[in-house]
Structure 1
Amino acid sequence: MFIAQKMTARCCVDSVSIMQIAAVRPQELGAPELALWREFQAADPIQDNPFLSPEFTLAVAEFRPSVRVAVISDGGTVVGFFPYQRHATGVARPVGQGFRDRDGAVLAAGCRPDAAALLRACGLAVWQFDHQIPGQLTAASSRAQLFPTPLIDLREGFDSYVQVMRRRSSVTLKGVNYKRRKLGRDVGEVRHEMRSLDAEALRTFMRWKSSQYLRTGKGDLFAHRGIIGMLERLQHTCSERFAGSLSVLYAGERMVAAHFGMYTPRALALWFPSYDPEFGKYSPGFIQLMTLSEDAARLGVEAFELGRGRHAYKDQFKTGEIHVMEGWMARPALGTAIHRVTAAPRQEVVNFVRARPQIRAKVGAMRLTFRSTRARVNNFTGRQR
């Protein structure tokens, strides 16, 4: 068991129950706490998401030392875990900010902590989130909006999903099947590996993804050694309740697409998809999306979550959706006032752009031009030296 003496406070959930909280580093959690964490996930389909798994939190904590877990206890019994990253001025953000698609706590049935008291116990002022599970935490001072997250419903199996696709997206389904057959004829037999442990395949995937970020004007996540180490760790993480998964699509002996994701017994998360541009005319990413759905259904996965965000391909392949919250919860503190006049308005602007494809495309083009210009200037400066 961890030593619950790092930072403790009492958290009032209602007029009857009093809870205790200890904020610890994830590495300080013992096997009993981790087992309870997984048990709470297994009991609740909404919480059974790989981004809320202890394995993900531990992997991120290896290169982000600001990661903490608030362990919530009631009468000496642990009833919940709240993972977060601590930032300046007492602002808490989700673990893996910038590359994860689910936020929140993992709680025992009936546990609904008061967010203000939870923040106070952890020495925090604000909890800012954008993929929060609705209804988990309550706070008098808060602001949040609901956003849809598309998913592929696999509860009735892959064949049932294909039948739904035939009714609502028959053109998409026919196109994917045609291109898969053509890829097989032109290059070689198409096959899919759900969990590859090949280190070279991982390096190839990361090269593709870095090139994609460069082409689209986005910051390259894989330029950071910490992200690389996290994927290397997750690639070899597999247990009864969680698996990191480098999935690879081959045509003959050629690797044509890859996806790095994670899954629990109930949910597979779309995370980092990529493909070899040489095979772009075959739409290998779409082929892999269908094949991943088939493999996931075979494993008993009930939902393939495609991640929040408006993209045409998600509308083509989705058969359902869930909702997540974006916003903040706070307690009275200096950090709360600072947050309200800085980060909160910026996020509203970001949401405005994301919700409008035409504006988003123009912003993306401007970003690409800026990054390309900066790269040319850096190259020129390097030659002058």
Structure 2
Amino acid sequence: MGLEAVTIPMRDLTPHERQLWQEWQGARPQLRSPFFNIGFSDAVASEGSDVAVAKLYEAGRLIGFFPYQRRGGTAYPVGAPMNDYHAVIGDPHTRVTLEDVARLLPTKRLSVNSWIGPDNGPDDDRYLRQSTCQATIGPDGYDMWFEGRRIQHNKYFKDKARSRRGMEAAFGPMRVQIEGANHDMLEQLIHLKSQQYRRTGRHDIFGPKWTRRLLHRLLDGDDSFKASLASLWAGDTLLAMELSLHADGVWHFWFPAYLEIGAKYSPGIWLSMETMRQVCTDGYDEFDYGFSGEAYKKYFCNRSEQVVEAIVGAGDWTDLVRLAAKRPDLAVSIRRRWAAIEASEPRWTGRMVGTILAGRGFMSRIARKESSK
């Protein structure tokens, strides 16, 4: 008897199964991210009825869980597109591949953007491998970690010190406050992110009500697993905010937002550094910056993980785009935009509107490029 799966609603997990989930997550360092905490799947399930768990069996023995949500014929990791990491939460001695999970789910395909696990597919352009970026604080604490980074990247941090002096000269002394249930400020952050998505032509994942409700629910979590909102002020002027998700010693920087008035002073850099300094005293020793694409992250991160982005299963329509356009980069861009639309929009009407808006934005960008030649 090989691998098998039984799919149940998240709410039907037994107390014993929930305990296994927590034990298996705690036994694997690769699963330290708060996105693997059972509290994240519980929170998403509380905001929608479509969250399921595939219980994976081998030779009749339960070996793992994979929480997901279904959109049409596609399975997405639970909480997508806001889930930054996904994997099978399972027995540390069991190897379950991405292809295994896609085959066992009751859907045509599985779409992932940052999969952690063994044997992550063949070496071809359907499986995009990316690196993530983490700052691991050593036993000597934040000050010693920062001193090491400052010595290694002296010019960069001198420039940031000048930016801080300029910011304080313009607005007043800098301070960072980290708080839990400030729902008014969270709404302000969501508004800024929605404006950013629309301005840059990306799908506004906060259009559907469930994504907003999820963030508010997480903000009300307990100290073992929750979201917190950090804000940077200079004098009485708010310049930057960031919502982070955290649990088990890991602080995941999640949704940042900046006000244009202070952009030239790099407030986001100071917000993350001061957040790290403050919460290190609460036992947090790993800070996750997500994908390593932005240039500034290399100055902070001393560890990385490889993750995989792919659509596995039948009917990968972006293969047609790739063959027609001979442009794998274009196919990846289209696939990402569609995944954000499909995963966040539970209704077909929302997916249709999102697709139309994305198409208009795509065509207008092509027109601007052509006119600039």
- Distance, in Å, in 2 between the alignment partners of 1:351 and 1:307 is 22
**Cα deviations by residue, 1:31-86 (Å, 9 ceiling, x for unpaired):** 44333322222221111111222222233334454321112356886432101222
Contact 1:275 1:285 in 2 (8 A): yes
Partner of 2:38: 54
- Asked if the contact 2:76–2:110 (Cα under 8 Å) also holds between the matched residues in 1, the reply is yes
Instruction: Find the partner of 2:265 among 279, 282, 298.
Output: 282
Equivalent pair of 2:96/2:117 in contact (CA under 8 Å): no
Q: Which runs of 5+ in 1 are unaligned?
A: 1-9, 14-19, 331-335, 355-363, 374-385
- Cross-structure match for 1:83: 67
Query: Which residue of 95, 101, 117 maps to 2:78?
Result: 95
TM-score (norm 1): 0.75
Q: Secondary structure at the match of 2:149?
A: helix
1:161 corresponds to which of 142, 145, 150:
145
Classify 1:117/1:153 alpha carbon distance in 2 versus 1 (closer, same or farther; 3 Å).
closer
CA contact (8 A) 1:113 1:138 kept: no
* Matched residue, 1:66: 50
Output the amino acid matched with 2:163: K
Say if 2:180 and 2:227, in contact at 8 Å, map to a contact too.
Answer: no
Residue 349 of structure 1 aligns with an amino acid whose one-letter code is D
Q: 1:155·1:303 contact (CA, 8 Å) conserved in 2?
A: no
Partners in 1 of 2:228 and 2:210 — Cα distance? 18
1:1-385 → structure 2 map (5 Å cutoff): 12-13=2-3, 21-73=5-57, 78-89=62-73, 91-113=74-96, 118-119=101-102, 121-135=104-118, 144-156=127-139, 157-240=141-224, 242-308=225-291, 310-330=293-313, 336-337=314-315, 341=319, 348-350=328-330, 367=361, 370=364
Inter-partner Cα distance in structure 2 for 1:327 and 1:349: 13
In structure 2, what is the Cα distance between the partners aligned to 1:369 and 1:290? 39
The gaps in structure 2 that reach 5 residues or longer are 335-357, 368-373
Q: CA deviation at 1:350?
A: 4.5
Count residues in correspondence. 338
Shift of 1:178: 3.0
Deviation of 1:237 after TM superposition, in Å, equals 1.1
CA deviation after TM superposition for structure 1 residue 149, in Å: 1.0
Could you say what the CA RMSD is over the residues aligned between the two structures, in angstroms?
Answer: 3.5
**1:109 Cα offset (Å):** 1.6
Query: What is the SS of the residue equivalent to 1:111?
Result: coil
Whether the 8 Å contact between 1:217 and 1:369 is mirrored in structure 2 is no
Distance in 2, Cα, partners of 1:137 & 1:108: 18
Separation in 1 of the partners of 2:223 and 2:59? 30
8 Å Cα contact 1:104-1:136 kept in structure 2: no
**Matched residue, 1:361:** none
Contact persistence 1:193–1:247 (CA under 8 A)? yes
Report how far residue 343 of structure 1 moved: 8.2
Flag the 1:118–1:319 CA change in 2: closer, same or farther, 3 A: closer
CA distance in 2, matches of 1:185, 1:121: 59
Aligned-partner Cα distance in 1 for 2:97–2:300: 38
Q: What is the alpha-carbon distance in structure 1 between the residues aligned to residue 330 and residue 50 of structure 2?
A: 25
Is the alpha carbon distance of 1:78 and 1:266 closer, same or farther for their aligned partners in structure 2, counting shifts above 3 Å?
farther
Letter of the 1:168 counterpart: Q
Q: Deviations over 1:323-379 (max 9, x none)?
A: 11223444xxxxx2555845887994347669xxxxxxxxx9x948949x9xxxxxx
SS in structure 1 of the partner of residue 84 of structure 2: coil
Percent identity, please: 25
1:144-174 residue CA offsets vs partner (Å, 9 max, x unmatched): 3432112222234322331232233222222
Quick check: 2:76–2:112 contact (8 Å CA) kept in 1?
yes
Q: Is the 8 A contact 1:218 1:368 kept in 2?
A: no
**SS in structure 2 at match of 1:72:** strand
Distance 2:15 2:162 in 1: 49
How far did residue 247 of structure 1 move?
1.6
